[in-house]
Amino acid sequence: MPGVERRMTRQVKVRNVLIGGGAPISVQSMTKTDTRDREATLAQVLRLTEAGCDIVRLAIPDEDAARSLAWIRKHTDAALVADIHFDYRLGLLAIESGADKIRVNPGNIPQRGLKELAAACRANGVPVRVGVNSGSIAREILSRHGGLTVAALVESALQGVRLVEDAGVTDIVISLKATDPLMTIQAYREISNLTDRPLHLGLTESGAPRSGTVRSAVTLGVLLAGGIGDTIRVSLTGDPVEEVRVGLAILRSLGLREGGVEIISCPTCGRCSIGLDRLAGIASEVERGVSGIRAPLKIAIMGCEVNGPGEAREADVGLAVGRGRGLLFVRGKPVRQVDEKEFVKAILDEVRRIVPPEEG
């Protein structure tokens, strides 16, 4: 089966993470702590990288926040991005403090400041993300387009890119996020036809966990499946670790990220020979039991005889449940019958035989 064919873009480097030019699609998030609370912010950075976040952004609204970044820098090797608005001097301070990338919305920084910032970026190998959001497009552009449109977003982003290019920045990543998935999809499609700069995908203000997850998965899924996107961020109101988990799940679903255990379990129906709650419980227990494993592995837990054996056979470890017992499959072959009370243990035993704990 052919995988996603990605569009080729220029490459930029953010500390040890490559963006664009065929590099693996990286997952980003943003700390939600007050950056001036350096201990809390560092703790969140560490939780994010532990969860698989490749690049962490921090808001730098003032000098204290920039100083906090310098302290955090000493305690982590994570790729850190400083989010800068209005005051270019905070960008200079952030670079001094060890930021690996700067995110700006160039429209809100005066051109003279952009020049100084560009010089510091070049001197330090720091790329710039031109980050346009539907909520902060210049009034002039909005009025010329008769309001918020795909064309207004694209023009705003290209104008921003020109501003930082003119100021002397060479390594540029672009984002142009709207709150509407369809508008965001169309804007990224259009800009990807107009530039070979790497693209940072996201939806702005995507909302509460369920609807935000769905909206982000649809938007990023459509773009990524079309080969567009070099780095992604899922925005959710809530714990940023959830943003990383959702982002990774989006990439995995399209074969754009390897690794981790995939648990396939049936939705259960009136045909299920053990209860819904019981099957969901088994799936959750297995999920907890394998949470530390980074090797790619597929586990299927199926509640019936219609699709069960077929799916169980396609997995690395599969269980097809019949009445009170289950048939265990390992890499396509039925290996033994298992009693219901042994289901979880039997699956985890086989998993551990395939991925010994030291390799997990």
Q: Choose one: 117-125, 193-201, 217-225, 333-341; the region binding a copy of itself (CB under 8 A).
A: 217-225
Q: Choose one: 7-15, 30-38, 94-102, 119-127; the region binding a copy of itself (CB under 8 A).
A: 30-38
Q: Is 6 in the site for a copy of itself (CB under 8 A)?
A: no
Comparison of 163 and 217: residue with beta carbon closer to a copy of itself = 217
Q: Is 120 in the site for a copy of itself (CB under 8 A)?
A: no
> CB under 8 Å, gap of 24 or more: what pairs does 188-195 form?
188/223, 188/228, 188/229, 189/223, 189/226, 189/228, 190/150, 190/151, 190/154, 191/154, 191/157, 191/158, 192/7, 192/228, 194/154, 194/158, 195/158, 195/161
**Closest approach of a copy of itself to the CB of residue 284, in Å:** 7
Task: Specify the length of the chain in residues.
Answer: 360
Q: Is 271 in the site for a copy of itself (CB under 8 A)?
A: yes
The neighbour count for residue 40, using CB atoms within 10 Å, is 15
Residues 268-298 as b/e (b if ≥16 CB within 10 A, e otherwise) read beeebbbeeeebeebbebbeebbeebebebe
Comparison of 119 and 222: residue with beta carbon closer to a copy of itself = 222
Comparison of 18 and 272: residue with beta carbon closer to a copy of itself = 272
DSSP E strand boundaries for the chain: 12-14, 17-19, 26-30, 55-59, 79-84, 101-104, 128-133, 172-177, 200-201, 231-233, 261-265, 297-302, 317-321, 325-330, 333-339
**Closest approach of a copy of itself to the CB of residue 170, in Å:** 26
- Residue 84 CA to its chain's centroid (Å): 21
Comparison of 128 and 171: residue with beta carbon closer to a copy of itself = 128
Amino acid at 31: T
**Closest approach of a copy of itself to the CB of residue 255, in Å:** 5
Comparison of 267 and 357: residue with beta carbon closer to a copy of itself = 267
Number of residues that bind a copy of itself (CB under 8 A): 92
Residues β-bridged to residue 129: 103, 173
Q: For residue 70, how many C-alpha atoms fall within 13 Å in the half-sphere facing its CB?
A: 12
Q: Choose one: 45-53, 165-173, 303-311, 340-348; the region binding a copy of itself (CB under 8 A).
A: 303-311
**Closest approach of a copy of itself to the CB of residue 169, in Å:** 21
Contact 340, 324 (CB under 8 A): yes
Q: Choose one: 7-15, 17-25, 72-80, 219-227; the region binding a copy of itself (CB under 8 A).
A: 219-227
Q: Is 182 in the site for a copy of itself (CB under 8 A)?
A: yes
Q: For residue 81, how many C-alpha atoms fall within 13 Å in the half-sphere facing its CB?
A: 27
Q: How far apart are CA 295 and CA 114, in angstroms?
A: 44
- Give backbone dihedrals phi and psi of 35, rounded to 5 degrees, phi first: -60, -30
Q: Choose one: 72-80, 92-100, 233-241, 349-357; the region binding a copy of itself (CB under 8 A).
A: 233-241
Q: Is 18 in the site for a copy of itself (CB under 8 A)?
A: no
Helix 343-354 and helix 276-289, axial crossing angle in degrees, nearest 10: 30
- Give backbone dihedrals phi and psi of 222, rounded to 5 degrees, phi first: -60, -45
Q: Is 279 in the site for a copy of itself (CB under 8 A)?
A: yes
Q: Is 143 in the site for a copy of itself (CB under 8 A)?
A: no
Q: Which of residues 35-94 bind a copy of itself (CB under 8 A)?
A: 35-36, 41, 57-61, 65, 83, 85
Q: Choose one: 11-19, 90-98, 118-126, 232-240; the region binding a copy of itself (CB under 8 A).
A: 232-240
- Out of 126, 215, 297, 343, which residue is the one contacting a copy of itself (CB under 8 A)? 215
Q: Which of residues 318-357 bind a copy of itself (CB under 8 A)?
A: none
